[in-house]
Amino acid sequence: MMRLVRWQPEDLVHRLDDVIEVYGSAMGYNAELLQTRRGYVAAHAGRPGFRGVATLGDDGSLLGFGYGYTSTPGQWWHDQIRAALRRDDGKAWMSDCFELVELHVRPAAQGHGIGQRQLRALLSGVGHRTVLLSTPEADEDVSRAWRLYRRFGFVDVLRDFYFPGDDRAFGILGRSLPLPAHIAA
């Protein structure tokens, strides 16, 4: 058994050790990098428009989580993406945007619809016109994350984008909101 719960900012901070462990196992990050990410994740809980969800096992273990917030100028990710977009694309995508920051499922729990339920819960009822996310470039036929985002109607906004300090290419994906009824249900 598992259950999806809404998380308030304090819930994310309270379970930060579990969040970082799931994040690291899902992304394949080393322990040193994960320690630097702890501060970022904790700070994200205080951002305007924060929305979070978690999937808990019947024993209370964290199987997955996701969160996002209102994307605004002055935030590192927002400014990186805005600078890479043409002016009209930046305005269209980022003037009223929900930034889907993290969406992860523990590898052993993948393949059971957890990510889909988390994504639907995060995006249903969001009061923004668009949503954007970044995900490492991957073979779209193999990557569960890419297949999930495509099923939800995400389109390419930028491809092969490199963030400072990361040698991996990322895809920046977006879609308009609200979710259509057939996805939101």
Helix (H, G, I), strand (E, B) or coil at 8: coil
Residue 129 is predicted with a pLDDT of 98
Residue 69 is predicted with a pLDDT of 98
From 23, 67, 69, 149, active-site residue: 149
Residue 132 is predicted with a pLDDT of 98
Q: Report residue 102 CA to chain centroid gap.
A: 3
Determine whether 149 is an active site residue: yes
CA separation for the pair 126, 80 (Å, rounded): 23
Q: Model pTM greater than 0.85?
A: yes
3-19 residues labelled b (16+ CB within 10 A) or e (exposed): eeeebebebbbebeebb
Residue 33 is predicted with a pLDDT of 82
User: What's the average pLDDT block by block, 10 residues per block, for the chain (185 residues)?
Assistant: 96 96 90 87 96 97 98 97 97 98 95 96 96 92 89 97 91 96 82
Structure tokens at 1: 């058994």
According to DSSP, the residues that pair with 126 across neighbouring strands are none
Question: Strands 62-71 and 51-57, how do they pair?
Answer: antiparallel
Sorted by where each starts, the structural domains of the chain and their CATH numbers stand as 2-184 (3.40.630.30)
